[in-house]
Amino acid sequence: MRTSPNVIITGTPGVGKTVHCEQLAQETGLQHLSINQVAKDRGCYDTYDNELQSWVVDEDKLLDAVEDEVLQGGYLIDWHACDLFPKSWIDLVVVLRCSSTSVHYDRLATRDYNQTKLQENLDAEIFGILLEEAREAFDEEIVVELNSEKDDDVESNCARISSWVESWKRDRANKRD
């Protein structure tokens, strides 16, 4: 039985996943697991997509690469997708959203994305694709949608998630007693 939860922080690129994970790691003691970094470090790529100018992750390789760690619990999983992770691994799914297209566009433009990749990510956010995927892949009660546009949002979101983590730990400790 895990003594710390696994939390997915997901959303389209540019919504603040990494900023949230870094702050939450400090506040909660959970470890920030950047899936992009894991894929790079552990060779979990399948092919390269020339149009989007990005690597395509081999999801089976990726899951094999993180399984032993994640099953122990205590991770903030930072990635733009969540539906590949088994339900049994995950205790909370936080979908960060940026409803201001202009704010989101500016964030993505600073990343030097080509126009195709930039537009695809804006469209995915506008249509709520990742939220829909999260709701289809996980039980409704563990999927939370949070707005991430202003600096204040990061603070309030992290406080809310930190509180949830503490509550999760307390509930598990009480069950063990």
Block residue for tokens 């995915």: 124
Residue 3 assigned as binding residue: no
Residue 175 assigned as binding residue: no
Residue 93 assigned as binding residue: no
Pair 58, 40: CB distance under 8 Å: no
Residue 11 assigned as binding residue: no
Residue 169 assigned as binding residue: no
Q: Taking CA 6 as the corner, what is the angle to CA 125 and CA 169, rounded to the nearest 5 degrees?
A: 125
Residue 172 assigned as binding residue: no
Pairing status of strand 75-78 against strand 7-10: parallel
Residues linked to residue 92 through DSSP beta bridges, in sequence order:
7
Pair 117, 96: CB distance under 8 Å: no
Binding residue positions? 14, 16-19, 111, 150
Binding residue positions for ATP? 14, 16-19, 111, 150
